[in-house]
Amino acid sequence: KNEVEQSPQNLTAQEGEFITINCSYSVGISALHWLQQHPGGGIVSLFMLSSGKKKHGRLIATINIQEKHSSLHITASHPRDSAVYICAVSGSRLTFGEGTQLTVNP
Amino acid sequence: GAGVSQSPSNKVTEKGKDVELRCDPISGHTALYWYRQSLGQGLEFLIYFQGNSAPDKSGLPSDRFSAERTGGSVSTLTIQRTQQEDSAVYLCASSRDKANYGYTFGSGTRLTVV
């Protein structure tokens, strides 16, 4: 069993839909990160959180430390949101989930 | 600099040759990480530098891989006697401190071993 598990692996949505990507982890962490990787490989850090909830534009990230679970939400999704979203947890290094491939169709 | 800079952006090399990949982290970031991502795969940890501490090399896949970080800044990842399975995107990331700050990733070096 991977230390960081994401679901779903693939997600296709229509423009405007509300999207949720889930991440569960099984190890102790100091922080959880949500990353975005576009085709071509560049990785952008979206959020780092250790408790509660953070919001940036249409993106919202939540974490429940007791349940070892985090969610990434995208409101009013747009085709430019199409990317791989990666959950990662940090101790001394980042441990990555396998990623969720999101495709938003116009 | 303003971001994490990696060079070269692309490298094609013949099997058996040595390659050096460079990472220039954000100024003042004490933590530096190397990861690699093979085609269609997730990110794999390679090595981690934190300040003047001994690096965490536990992710290096073989003794053909080594890395240095000179003066607490620029890092070089060296792969000796490259093999086709070394083909991947090699990503560098830096952070202000271990774990508790966000990471900034470089745009990676795409290595192709032919």
pLDDT digits (tens, 9 = 90+) for A90-103: 876 778 999 999 99
Strand B75-79 and strand B65-69: the pairing is: antiparallel
Which residues on A lie below 8 Å from B105 (Cβ)?
A: 35, 42-45
Give B101's pLDDT tier (boundaries 50, 70, 90). low
For chain B, how long is the longest CA-to-CA vector?
Answer: 40
pLDDT of A64: 95
Q: Report the 10 Å Cβ neighbour count for A61.
A: 23
Across chain B, mean pLDDT equals 91
pLDDT of B35: 94
pLDDT of B41: 81
pLDDT digits (tens, 9 = 90+) for B53-62: 889 998 999 9
Please answer yes or no on whether A41 and B42 come within 8 Å at the CB atom. no
As a whole-number percent, the residues of chain A with pLDDT over 70 amount to 97
Please answer yes or no on whether A45 and B107 come within 8 Å at the CB atom. no
End-to-end Cα spacing for chain A: 36
Please choose, from the candidates B11, B84, B93, the residue with its C-alpha nearest in 3D space to the C-alpha of residue A86: B93
pLDDT digits (tens, 9 = 90+) for B60-87: 999 999 999 988 799 999 999 999 999 9
**Which of the pair, B11 or B31, is modelled with greater confidence?**
B11
Is the CB of residue B5 less than 8 Å away from at least one CB of chain A? Answer: no
Please answer yes or no on whether B45 and A95 come within 8 Å at the CB atom. yes
Residue carrying the six token digits 């839909």? A17
The neighbouring-strand residues paired with A101 are A10, A84
B98, pLDDT greater than 80: no
The C-alpha torsion from B26 through A72 and A102 to A45, rounded to 10°, is: 0
Give A2's pLDDT tier (boundaries 50, 70, 90). confident
Mutation target to probe the A interface, by most A beta carbons within 10 A, among B30, B41, B43, B47 is: B43
Q: Is A50 left (phi over 0), alpha (psi -120 to 50) or beta?
A: alpha
As a whole-number percent, the residues of chain B with pLDDT over 90 amount to 68
Q: Look at residue A87 and give its three-state secondary structure.
A: strand
Cβ–Cβ < 8 Å for A37, A97: no
Pairwise CA distance, residues B82 & B29, whole Å: 30
pLDDT digits (tens, 9 = 90+) for A24-46: 999 888 889 999 998 876 888 89
Cβ–Cβ < 8 Å for A70, A90: no
pLDDT digits (tens, 9 = 90+) for A60-82: 999 999 999 999 999 999 999 99
Using CA coordinates, name the residue in chain A closest to B3: A44
pLDDT of A93: 73
Cβ–Cβ < 8 Å for A91, B99: yes
Which residues on A lie below 8 Å from B101 (Cβ)?
A: 48
Mutation target to probe the A interface, by most A beta carbons within 10 A, among B6, B35, B103, B104 is: B103
C-alpha angle B2-B98-A62 in degrees, rounded to nearest 5: 85
Instruction: Calculate mean pLDDT across residues B34-56.
Output: 89
Residue carrying the six token digits 């959880």? A32
Please choose, from the candidates B62, B73, B74, the residue with its C-alpha nearest in 3D space to the C-alpha of residue B21: B74
Chains A, B: CB contacts under 8 A, how many?
54
Instruction: Calculate mean pLDDT across residues B18-39.
Output: 93
Residue carrying the six token digits 């900034």? B104
